Structure 1
Amino acid sequence: MQAAISLQNLTVSYRRHPALHHINGSFARGSLTAVIGPNGAGKSTLLKSILGLVRCNDGQVVTHADVGRIAYLPQQAEIDRSFPITVQDCVMLGYWSRVGLWGGIDAGMVQRAQQALAAVGLEGFAGRPIASLSVGQFQRVLFARILLQDAQVILLDEPFAAIDTRTTSDLLRIIQSWHAEQRTVIAVLHDYEQVRRAFPQSLLLARNVVAWGDTGEVLCDENLQRARAMAEAVDEHAPVCAVGESA
């Protein structure tokens, strides 16, 4: 299958020690992939590398999606919700890549924003300030914003963290609808049973690739034990990885 994103010897370092170490592989176009692994495995760093938000020390990310058609949902802890903006205005930021700073918003675009809110279960919330929302409600808002982006590639960093079971189920259905539409979805997750149920592909990281492929094969006991052992063996005082050195 044609690749949506290719990782070629990708190495990213913090404080001169690798958070990602010589990662090679591809996310197929239209695939639904969970990125999993122990704490500190480099999962969030991988998404930020794809977006170009962190500098690659070695290798590269090759993205085959059209410019402006990658959507990103960061962890909620990284979002300042004190900014005085309404739910509807927050959702309509999904149009940013198309209209920019000076582009106009027409009645049809407003209607589509209202439809996106209804699709995530927030009909009637348009005028509320985002600061008044619960964690789960705000996550629904962020999913509605992605609905307006019409993205080819969607990156989700812990989309179900600290939200209730009903909200998780509703948002998971939206993710599965994106997959059915042949969008490429990559999600950082922690619940292995949820991954087994809903994500056909998985990438198991421990700074290095432990396993990458069909979820049933990736999430075997041997691979999970290996990932834990690799994470526990990390030595922050080890010699710096030389650029170009193979894993």
Structure 2
Amino acid sequence: MTTVFEVRDLSLGYPNKVLFEHLSFDIQAGRTLAVLGANGSGKSTFVKMMLNLMKPLSGGLNWPAGRPREIGYLAQMAEFDSRFPIRVRDLAAMGAWGGFGMRRRLDRAAQDRVSAALAEAGVLSIADQPIHTLSGGQLQRTLFARVIMQNAPLILLDEPFAAVDQSTEAHLLAIIDRWRNEGRAVVLVVHDLSSVLDHCTDALLLGGGRATHGAVDDVLTPENLIGQKYMSESQASWMFRSAASTTPEGAEHV
């Protein structure tokens, strides 16, 4: 399987605070990495480092096949100004500017691509609506349509399910599953342990000055979650006891 990028001996933080040190792992095509941690553990900082928006303290990324010309990126909702005077279809079309250019009118084929992306995201019916009229879920669907238009081999999503309902979350997770099945690599920053993790192949847990990477079930253990200050002992005890109680009799606990 093709390696999209390699993290090598990465130390990340700021002059007065080290978030973690000496992290190494690979991300391959067709894998989805969940990045978790308490507030301030370095989740968004890790994404910014991947986008080359900040420099690591040491180490960094290797791109075996070269850095992709296009990286799909969806920032946290709080970083997006929904007052910008633009329609839903125009916001989605912005994802294609790398291929079409800002000043060039989209031809019919490009317009059809925009409509297809809006349809997949579930917002084609409001394509001509200004974005300041959208609900949080509608805006996030539109931003997903913009990422679809980027058609990138690597996709970075920073807390994409904040302030959306369960129906929207399920719809967007189906898009993420399609990306993975197409052989794209997805890095997904999530705030809490949820059904989102059922759609991820790998996990990176940050916190307590450490970074732990591996398969989801191997990383998200009570010992790691407590030791890396993601949750208290009582929270971990309750969560894993509840999970065990819902496992059907005779089924294997994972």
CA distance in 2, matches of 1:53, 1:132: 31
Hey, what does 1:92 align to over in structure 2?
93
Q: Helix, strand or coil for the counterpart of 1:89?
A: helix
Hey, what does 2:222 align to over in structure 1?
221
* Aligned residue identity for 2:9: N
CA distance in 2, matches of 1:77, 1:229: 23
* Aligned residue identity for 1:13: G
> Are residues 1:49 and 2:29 paired?
no
Contact 2:35/2:187 (8 A) holds in 1: yes
Contact 1:119/1:144 (8 A) holds in 2: yes
* Aligned residue identity for 1:136: G
Q: Structure 1 residues 17 and 24 mapped into 2: Cα distance closer, same or farther (>3 Å)?
A: same
CA distance in 2, matches of 1:2, 1:208: 30
Hey, what does 1:5 align to over in structure 2?
5
1:61-115 deviation per Cα after TM superposition (whole angstroms, max 9, x unaligned): 2234653221111001011111111111100001121123344410111111011
Sequence identity (%) = 38
Q: Which moved more, 1:151-160 or 1:214-223?
A: 214-223
Hey, what does 2:111 align to over in structure 1?
110
Hey, what does 1:193 align to over in structure 2?
194
Q: Structure 1 residues 123 and 133 mapped into 2: Cα distance closer, same or farther (>3 Å)?
A: same
Question: C-alpha displacement at 1:11, in angstroms?
Answer: 2.5
Q: TM-score, normalised by structure 2?
A: 0.84
Q: Structure 1 residues 208 and 181 mapped into 2: Cα distance closer, same or farther (>3 Å)?
A: farther
Question: C-alpha displacement at 1:213, in angstroms?
Answer: 1.2
Contact 1:34/1:189 (8 A) holds in 2: yes
Contact 2:14/2:57 (8 A) holds in 1: no
Q: Helix, strand or coil for the counterpart of 1:192?
A: coil
CA distance in 2, matches of 1:208, 1:107: 52
Contact 2:10/2:58 (8 A) holds in 1: yes
Hey, what does 1:243 align to over in structure 2?
none
* Matched residue count: 231
RMSD: 2.0
* Aligned residue identity for 2:198: R
Contact 2:208/2:227 (8 A) holds in 1: no
1:195-216 deviation per Cα after TM superposition (whole angstroms, max 9, x unaligned): 4422121111116544211111
Segments of 5+ residues of structure 2 without an aligned counterpart are: 233-254
CA distance in 2, matches of 1:223, 1:19: 16
1:129-170 deviation per Cα after TM superposition (whole angstroms, max 9, x unaligned): 111101110000011111111110000000101110100010
| Structure 1 consecutive aligned stretches of length 4 or more whose deviation exceeds 6 Å | none
Hey, what does 1:30 align to over in structure 2?
30
Hey, what does 1:174 align to over in structure 2?
175
1:154-169 matched pairs, under 5 angstroms: 154-169=155-170
Segments of 5+ residues of structure 1 without an aligned counterpart are: 232-247
